[in-house]
Structure 1
Amino acid sequence: MGDESKRSMYLLGGRRVQIRDLLDAGLLNPGAKLRFRRRRVGVTHHAEITVTGRVRLIPDGQEFPTPSRAAMVAAGMRAVDGWLAWVVVELGRPLDALRQDLLDRAVATAADDPREEPLDVRVHERLREARKRADGNHPEEFSVRELLKLWGAKDRGDQISRIEADLANHGLVTSPSFRKVTLDATVRLIVGSSGAEEPPAAAPGRAPAVTDDEESAEDPVGLTVGNLRSALGGLTSVAPNASFDEAVTKMLLNDFSQLAVLNGPRNLRGAITWRSIAHARHAAADAKLTDAIEPDVVAVRYDKELIDVLPDLQRTGFVFVRDLENVVAGIVTTADVVQAYGEMAMPFFQIGELDRSLRRVIARNLGLDQVVALCRRPVRSFDELSMGDYQRVLGDAQTWTDLGWPLDRSTFIERLDEIRNIRNDVMHFKPDPPPVGTIDRLRKLNSLLRQYGELS
């Protein structure tokens, strides 16, 4: 095996294994025949590997860059994990098994290779164990927060692509999707569907839809309903035959404006609200709780994008949320949405004020030529300055002295560096709330700049 092939095999940290990697490693040969057998419908699809690492369907000749895309088109299915679906005929092994061999080889060479971005041996071993448990129908459960810790991540920030790639390389997905719930929600590490049995959507231990594409149309662009804390946080409810006293007591004790009426965990009969109670009792003094049920309520899946739910929230003030097993597991109100968007927007506005204040201080005290020299890059106007530029300019000893601020330069620049990292996270619009103290740090720095910026 040549040096280039070894490097390709070794540098798998952060990216998905490709058919080309199997060819380079000698684990698969061009022209290898593939078989995708769907036992339930009695159909078998055929394909072959091209010299460039694509999957060519037989007999129609369509070529695809990934096994999953080829399997989806061949079977006419919405999504399927082609690495599990396609079996190499000559070897009698699925492509997934060859992918695991490749990862094991990479681990074997990792200790002796100093190059950057290697396959993380610790993560590989942990996910390999999780895969064994998932194959044995004993999937491991984690909170999303605990899962992220495996990669040293505190939230779903810049490492999310690496995390998804590592999971995909081991044939694993989370159920529910760790992107679409809160950090404290519990997820299971399970194996994607091979499409052979085409299990129903709620089949335990297997995910019906997963692809190895870098980006899937199923991935959320913004916040999902499940990203809100109340969405899957449990639900207080009453049965249809409950009394007014029971419903009113639960609403008062919990400061609720509405209650779900359930006849079983999946059977949502409607909702009781203060308005519906008032209307029922006004219409008839001897009214029963069933007379106060509002049947026209909305229940959405946890993975529905929040922006698509806003019209219903505007109309009713609340929506109920169904989890992966279709259980009515939570509720989202207008107040929850206002809080979620407020948590995202507040750091954005604070950073905007900080950016304007720093730019004004520099523009008042330095010429553009001085700024260009300190930034060591071409800058055509003060509006092009970045947070890193602010650090370089204000971190200059002579510039700081000229400002005349009675403040410690190194401490101020250290705080700016903290804010730079916060800014990067905020501008990526992550679904997670900012770390505790983030907004307070931004406010205090803005307050300091308002005070001392006027002295410049």
Structure 2
Amino acid sequence: MTEETMTAPQRSMYLLGGRRVQVRDLLDAQLLEPGAQLRFRRRRVGAIHHAEVTGSGRVRLLPDGQEFPTPSRAAQVAAGMRAVDGWLAWVVVKTGKPLDALRQELLDRAVATAGDQARVETFEVRVHERLREARKRAEDNAPEEFSVRELLSLWGARDRGEQIIRIEADLANHGLVTSPSFRKVTLDATVRLVVAPAYADERAAAPAQVAPADVDEGDGDGDPIGLTVGNLPSALGGLKFVAPNATFDEAITKLLLNDFSQLAVLNGPRNLRGAVTWTSIAHARHANLDARLSDAIEADVVAVRYDKELIDVLPELQRTGFVFVRDQDNTIAGIVTTADVVRAYGEMALPFFQIGELDRSLRRVISRNVGLDQVAEICGKAVRSFDELSMGEYQRVLSDGGVWAALGWPLDRVTFIERLDEIRRIRNDVMHFKPDPPPEGTIEKLRKLNMLLRRYGDLS
């Protein structure tokens, strides 16, 4: 079924829980007319940009005629800015309403339609009502706070896996973002649901600002989504520090009590003066027995934002062994060391290698016991090589009673396939390199399944 052939209730539920609202949805709902005039007023610089809505739901800038698929992309180009939430920036000239207000009206209609049809409180409706309440509280300057784990649970998710696109779409549709970004911190970090700013300060984008909710909207120009500095527990986990006028005894005591190799030197929560390390202390005292702690401060240290891509920080970590981390409010909130990075990449790489071994073992077992023709018949497709098989197809082949009997393993087929299905789901998460660690026990399950295959699979 295509989107165009959906009934009204089906389309309503699709909008509530499927994707970001688009301008053409407003046209379809007759909340906006083709040719509607839009205005984007930038009061700070005294500029006004004009656009109109095309019949296909694109935004056409006036007078140059450039067309864009999303309000945000149109606003970015019109203003020459990187981050603009076009739903808040563009106002319909005829009514004085921002596009965001029409978006909220559309979602409210979708809820009403779904409720009239189902007569039950659906999951999608509950999420909508919850986010609408959060939007009101954010507008009243009383934003709700959650751990990332609690936020994800609103959608029934345990981690930032396959539902993350839907979660971001639901937040964007309600004009909400998290501060800090829930993608770029740990699962136990606290985030606030706040109203997305219309656009960043044009004079200087302060580090505390939050990216607008829909600046990417599928345009391919959004924030990077790799592992970030803030995904490491120590990045925003609190910071031990000393003041510039502290004593050697204070610094050494804090280093010993916490088993640290370095301490930040702060003159206020945002003013990083440098760091003291065991090495800098030794050098200072070796040069002058009467040295003070200020003589041991290393000023050549780096502080990076929590949302910086971790891979971009590796050269600095290689040079110094550590970087300090600024949070969304520009406060020095934590530290990331080389050991933290090794641990993080190790947690990601170990299941990856275990799954690689499992893939090779299953392929070898099947290739030694089953012909390609039989595999093709079981999988329902042409198979030219065993290397083409996916984890799900390994599972289908081994689920076949004839294949299992041919293996001659003294094992229960149903129990084995249940574990293999569990590993298949884990594999999908691991191969996408989520920022979250695998579920507890994942490594052990992979290791034991590999041991079992080595024992019974005759893989020598």
For normalisation by structure 1, the TM-score amounts to 0.94
- Of the three residues 265, 268, 272, the one matched with 1:268 is 272
The equivalent of 2:329 in structure 1 is 325
Deviates more, 1:161-170 or 1:46-55: 46-55
Asked if the contact 2:73/2:219 (under 8 Å) is kept, the reply is no
CA drift of 1:249 comes to 0.7
SS at 2:393 equivalent: helix
Match for 1:448: what amino acid? L
- Of the three residues 341, 344, 349, the one matched with 2:353 is 349
Q: Deviations over 1:30-62 (max 9, x none)?
A: 111111122222222221111111111222222
- Of the three residues 243, 253, 260, the one matched with 1:256 is 260
- Of the three residues 354, 364, 371, the one matched with 1:367 is 371
Residues 437-452 of structure 1 aligned to structure 2 (within 5 Å): 437-452=441-456
Structure 1 residues 26 and 9: CA distance shift in structure 2, 3 A? farther
- Of the three residues 323, 338, 357, the one matched with 2:342 is 338
SS at 1:331 equivalent: strand
Asked if the contact 2:379/2:397 (under 8 Å) is kept, the reply is yes
Asked if the contact 2:231/2:435 (under 8 Å) is kept, the reply is yes
Structure 1 residues 261 and 225: CA distance shift in structure 2, 3 A? same
CA drift of 1:455 comes to 8.2
Match for 1:183: what amino acid? L
In structure 2, what is the Cα distance between the partners aligned to 1:138 and 1:215?
A: 32
- Of the three residues 51, 67, 70, the one matched with 2:71 is 67
The equivalent of 1:181 in structure 2 is 185
SS at 2:18 equivalent: coil
Match for 2:418: what amino acid? E
The equivalent of 1:41 in structure 2 is 45
The equivalent of 1:220 in structure 2 is 224
Asked if the contact 1:38/1:195 (under 8 Å) is kept, the reply is no
Aligned length: 453
| 2:20 counterpart of 1:16 | yes
Q: Deviations over 1:132-187 (max 9, x none)?
A: 11111111111111111111111111111111111111111111111111111111
SS at 1:297 equivalent: coil
SS at 1:11 equivalent: helix
Residues 286-305 of structure 1 aligned to structure 2 (within 5 Å): 286-305=290-309
Structure 1 residues 50 and 385: CA distance shift in structure 2, 3 A? same
Structure 1 residues 379 and 34: CA distance shift in structure 2, 3 A? same
In structure 1, what is the Cα distance between the partners aligned to 2:254 and 2:432?
A: 40
In structure 2, what is the Cα distance between the partners aligned to 1:219 and 1:312?
A: 22
Match for 1:179: what amino acid? R
Asked if the contact 2:303/2:323 (under 8 Å) is kept, the reply is yes
The equivalent of 2:251 in structure 1 is 247
Asked if the contact 1:222/1:305 (under 8 Å) is kept, the reply is yes
Asked if the contact 2:361/2:459 (under 8 Å) is kept, the reply is no
In structure 1, what is the Cα distance between the partners aligned to 2:386 and 2:269?
A: 59
SS at 1:352 equivalent: helix
CA drift of 1:359 comes to 1.0
Runs of 5+ unmatched residues, structure 1: none
Match for 1:321: what amino acid? V
Asked if the contact 1:79/1:209 (under 8 Å) is kept, the reply is no
CA drift of 1:219 comes to 1.8
In structure 2, what is the Cα distance between the partners aligned to 1:65 and 1:221?
A: 22
The equivalent of 2:413 in structure 1 is 409
The equivalent of 1:144 in structure 2 is 148
Asked if the contact 1:5/1:24 (under 8 Å) is kept, the reply is no
Residues 53-202 of structure 1 aligned to structure 2 (within 5 Å): 53-113=57-117, 120-195=124-199, 201-202=205-206
Deviates more, 1:295-304 or 1:52-61: 52-61
RMSD: 2.2
Match for 2:180: what amino acid? P
Asked if the contact 1:15/1:165 (under 8 Å) is kept, the reply is yes
Structure 1 residues 302 and 74: CA distance shift in structure 2, 3 A? same
CA drift of 1:75 comes to 1.8
SS at 1:189 equivalent: strand
Match for 2:93: what amino acid? V
SS at 1:111 equivalent: helix
Deviates more, 1:297-306 or 1:105-114: 105-114
The equivalent of 2:385 in structure 1 is 381
SS at 2:49 equivalent: strand
Structure 1 residues 3 and 294: CA distance shift in structure 2, 3 A? closer
CA drift of 1:208 comes to 6.2
In structure 2, what is the Cα distance between the partners aligned to 1:70 and 1:234?
A: 40
Q: Deviations over 1:392-436 (max 9, x none)?
A: 111122222221211111100000000000001111111111111
In structure 2, what is the Cα distance between the partners aligned to 1:35 and 1:44?
A: 7
In structure 2, what is the Cα distance between the partners aligned to 1:97 and 1:212?
A: 20
Structure 1 residues 120 and 193: CA distance shift in structure 2, 3 A? same
In structure 2, what is the Cα distance between the partners aligned to 1:384 and 1:2?
A: 36
For normalisation by structure 2, the TM-score amounts to 0.94
